[in-house]
Amino acid sequence: MFGGYLHLYSAMASFVKSTSFRKAIIGIALTYAVLLLGSWFWLQWYTDHGEYVSVPDLKGLRSEDAILALQERNLDYLIIDSIYDRKAAPGSVFDQSPAFESQVKEGRQVFLTIYRLSPPMEKLGIKQGDYATVAMIKLRNKSIDFDTLYEDNNTLANSIIRVTQRGKALKASDEVARGSKVVLVIGRAASDKIIVPDFTGMSCQEARSILDTLRLECNCRFEPGISSPSAQDSSTFRVCRQDPIHDPERGTSAGRIVDLWLYNTPCAPDSTQQDQ
């Protein structure tokens, strides 16, 4: 048995030293070399390896001009985000990726971030009675400009009476564009007393107009117990009672609510000028 192993080993050694073995090894090596070289050339053709273009500087350009500059270099684009800056030109490029002068293949997609064409909307979030200082901080944080207007109002001193924009009163739920301007009407303490007129026989609208000029709040109550008066109610009902009453000596403070009771029947002689 041992002699058989020696014979096999001798035969293998003779084959390795033979010309046939060397030819087989060279053939295998050449085959691998051809395959590797062919694969490399195929990849060069398939991927256009080595054909690069330089990414242009797009920051600050209008989006239309940036897209044109990319197309001239056979580059694609994708707008991935937009931000707001009141000082920037709307629609211009804020950032790009890849960066300026990066070497990329033709057809590569360049990602763009642009400035918004229109400012975002913000909920006002300010209502009557809010502290004026807090309201100002809220508006600054939302990039909303504001002017201030002060009115005598002891009830709402140093607080918001109302917020307006272009003459229109705004509610807390209204939305305002960043960068736009609103007016904060703020109450201030008034030392002078206001004499409340006698509104007997007036309509609600007539009384309200007078109270507005006196910086007093009007609260009309239509009797008996009409919670949602019609337009006809508002014009035909007349004031029979009020609180506070007309008192030339005592007067009242700015911002005070004046309650008015209106009836669609003649006022009773003992109902006029009575406190409720």
Give me the mean pLDDT over the 152-160 stretch: 87
Same domain? For 127 and 109 the reply is no
Radius of gyration, alpha carbons of the chain? 43
User: Is residue 196 within 8 Å of residue 245, measured between CB atoms?
Assistant: yes
Give me the mean pLDDT over the 244-271 stretch: 84
Pinpoint the alpha helices (H) of 87-160.
Answer: 132-141
Top pLDDT among 67 and 13 is at 67
Same domain? For 57 and 39 the reply is no
Residue 272 lies in a domain: no
Residue 258 lies in a domain: yes
pLDDT at residue 275, as a whole number: 45
Same domain? For 234 and 254 the reply is yes
* Domain-ending residue, one of 115, 150, 170: 115
- Residue 46: which pLDDT band, with cuts at 50, 70 and 90? low
Amino acid at 216: L
How many structural domains compose the chain?
4
Same domain? For 68 and 98 the reply is yes
Same domain? For 184 and 148 the reply is yes
User: Is residue 125 within 8 Å of residue 138, measured between CB atoms?
Assistant: yes
Q: Mind listing the pLDDT tens digit for each residue in 225-247?
A: 776 777 776 778 999 999 999 88
CATH code, domain carrying 68: 3.30.10.20
Q: At what angle do helices 2-16 and 19-47 cross, to 10 degrees?
A: 60
Give me the mean pLDDT over the 252-256 stretch: 83
Residue 197 lies in a domain: no
The dihedral built from the CA positions of residue 122, 126, 131 and 132, taken in this order, carries a sign that is: positive
Whether 3 shows a pLDDT value over 70: the answer reads no
Residue 59 lies in a domain: yes
Give me the mean pLDDT over the 38-47 stretch: 64
Whether 137 shows a pLDDT value over 90: the answer reads yes
Q: Mind listing the pLDDT tens digit for each residue in 78-114?
A: 999 888 888 889 999 999 999 999 999 988 999 999 9
* Domain-ending residue, one of 76, 95, 115: 115
pLDDT at residue 141, as a whole number: 92
pLDDT at residue 276, as a whole number: 42
Angle 172-128-145 (CA atoms, 0-180°, nearest 5)? 60
On average, the pLDDT of the chain sits at 84
Q: For residue 34, what are the domain limits? A: 2-47
Strand-pairing partners, residue 168, are: 165
Of 172, 89, 173, give the one whose Cα is nearest residue 134: 172
Residue 21 lies in a domain: yes
Top pLDDT among 56 and 155 is at 56
